Amino acid sequence: MSNLKHVAIVGATGAVGVEMLRCLEQRAFPVGELTLLASARSAGKTMKFKGQDITIKELTADAFTGVDIALFSAGGGISKEFAPHATAAGAIVVDNSSAFRMDDQVPLVVPEINAGDLKNLPKNIVANPNCTTAITLMALYPLHQAFGVKRVIAASYQAVSGTGAQAIEELEAQTREWARSERKWDDVQVANEFVKVYPHQIAFNALPHVDSFLDDGYTKEEMKMENEGRKIMHHPDFRASVTCVRVPVFRAHSVAVNAEFERPISLEAAREVLSAAPGLDVIDDPSLKQYPLALNVAGKDNCAVGRLRIDCALDNGLAFWVAGDQLLKGAALNAVQIAECL
């Protein structure tokens, strides 16, 4: 490939696709030619890139001619159908869906952790991790390197934008409907016509239900941290018990983590390790009410970790709170970083 790359974005009009486009521009990725691909209903519309209008094209099997890197963010079904067409045309695919994450021939990459896995691409496909997993590992992996993580118990607090644009609109519509009705705090239920994306109202609520349930009672989303964490960290014995919760936050996920390590850990040593970790800010001064907030990490490239404390229930344990923008480090930014490594 030449220094300037022909880049394609599949799912360009979606929330992650929009962020991919912004990341390419803000990080001065060497784009020589840009192809924006979406469904037929979006074809013919335009999106801005470096001040120019780029016309969106319909995603078809023959849309990847001359493409060097194809960034996919249009769902697993689309990835499974069209990624082979992209690689057959000579492109390297960076896929944001779950379609290829557990494929032994496809590296699952967080560049700060395992960029070396990009040296071997038998299928010319790289997988982007689940957003909650990526954000959690930004803090957990440096601790693992220093102390050897055995297991974690975690609870996620996930923003509605992780579901997509319709979920964002639903939270906004439910909130506006309640405000319009001028009801008080103890009467916040809205009419069923405003509940479409999620099985229950999301405004003023917390849903312990992200993704579909498995036979053992966990959801698919909850198992991703263990399965993907093992692959990314090259740690086959890693164990994670996770409860994923959707909360009425527009943007940025937060995760409460209780981690048990093989070796003794102290607060001083943990802070030193985390302060040196790339892509991670330590915000940890409870006396000044300083800790990571979804509001503050939204739109930011770095994740943030805080509420550090020695776990009182686990041997060699550390409890912490980590937050990050799931549209960026959890998706678009991570994909563009992978492209930069490539």
- Mean of pLDDT values over 19-28: 97
For residue 269, is it within any domain? Answer: yes
pLDDT of residue 165: 86
Q: Say yes or no to pLDDT of 1 above 70.
A: no
The pTM for the full model equals 0.95
Answer yes or no: do 124 and 38 share one domain. Answer: yes
pLDDT of residue 127: 98
Number of domains in the chain: 2
Q: Give tens-digit pLDDT for 83-132.
A: 999 999 999 999 999 999 999 999 999 999 999 999 999 999 999 999 99
Q: Is 209 a catalytic residue?
A: no
CA 256 – CA 228 distance, rounded (Å): 18
Q: Say yes or no to pLDDT of 81 above 90.
A: yes
For residue 185, is it within any domain? Answer: no
- Mean of pLDDT values over 24-45: 96
Answer yes or no: do 208 and 315 share one domain. Answer: yes
Q: Give tens-digit pLDDT for 46-58.
A: 999 999 999 999 9
Q: Which two tokens stand for residue 36?
A: 């924006």
- Mean of pLDDT values over 176-187: 91
CA 37 – CA 8 distance, rounded (Å): 7
Answer yes or no: do 101 and 230 share one domain. Answer: no
Contact between 125 and 93 under an 8 Å Cβ cutoff? The reply is yes
Give the residue numbers of the binding site for phosphate: 101
Answer yes or no: do 272 and 289 share one domain. Answer: yes
Give the residue numbers of the binding site for NADP(+): 13-16, 41-42, 161-162, 326
Q: Which two tokens stand for residue 24?
A: 């390419």
Answer yes or no: do 210 and 310 share one domain. Answer: yes
Answer yes or no: do 22 and 80 share one domain. Answer: yes
With pLDDT > 90 as the criterion, what percentage of the chain qualifies? 97
What confidence tier does 164 reach under pLDDT thresholds 50, 70, 90?
A: confident
Contact between 34 and 16 under an 8 Å Cβ cutoff? The reply is no
Q: In sequence order, what DSSP letters do the residues of 66-105 get, joined into one string?
A: T-SEEEE-S-HHHHHHHHHHHHHTTPEEEE-SSSSTT-TT
Answer yes or no: do 137 and 73 share one domain. Answer: no
Answer yes or no: do 112 and 140 share one domain. Answer: no
Range of the domain at 13: 5-130+332-341
- Mean of pLDDT values over 289-317: 97
Query: For the CA atoms of 177, 178, 181, 187, what is the dihedral angle to 10 degrees?
Result: 150
Pairing of strands 46-49, 52-58: antiparallel
Answer yes or no: do 139 and 121 share one domain. Answer: no
Q: What is the CATH number of the domain that holds 254?
A: 3.30.360.10
pLDDT of residue 134: 98
Contact between 19 and 328 under an 8 Å Cβ cutoff? The reply is yes
pLDDT of residue 281: 98
How far is Cα of residue 287 from the mean position of the Cα atoms in its chain? 31
Give the residue numbers of the binding site for substrate: 158, 246
Answer yes or no: do 157 and 72 share one domain. Answer: no
Residue 231, H or E segment: helix 220-233
Q: Give tens-digit pLDDT for 185-230.
A: 889 999 999 999 999 999 999 999 999 999 999 999 999 999 999 9
Given 23, 131, 244, 303, the catalytic residue: 131
Given 6, 23, 253, 303, the catalytic residue: 253
Q: Which two tokens stand for residue 139?
A: 């803090």
Residue 34, H or E segment: strand 31-38
Give the residue numbers of the binding site: 13-16, 41-42, 101, 158, 161-162, 246, 326
pLDDT of residue 2: 60
Q: Say yes or no to pLDDT of 183 above 90.
A: no
Residue 256 CA neighbour count, 13 Å, CB half: 7
Answer yes or no: do 116 and 145 share one domain. Answer: no
Q: Is 131 a catalytic residue?
A: yes
Q: Which two tokens stand for residue 109?
A: 């990459």
* Residue 155 phi, psi dihedral angles, 5° rounding: -135, 130
Q: Give tens-digit pLDDT for 227-257.
A: 999 999 999 999 999 999 999 999 999 999 9
For residue 290, is it within any domain? Answer: yes
Answer yes or no: do 202 and 124 share one domain. Answer: no
* Dihedral sign from CA coordinates of 71, 163, 136, 327: positive
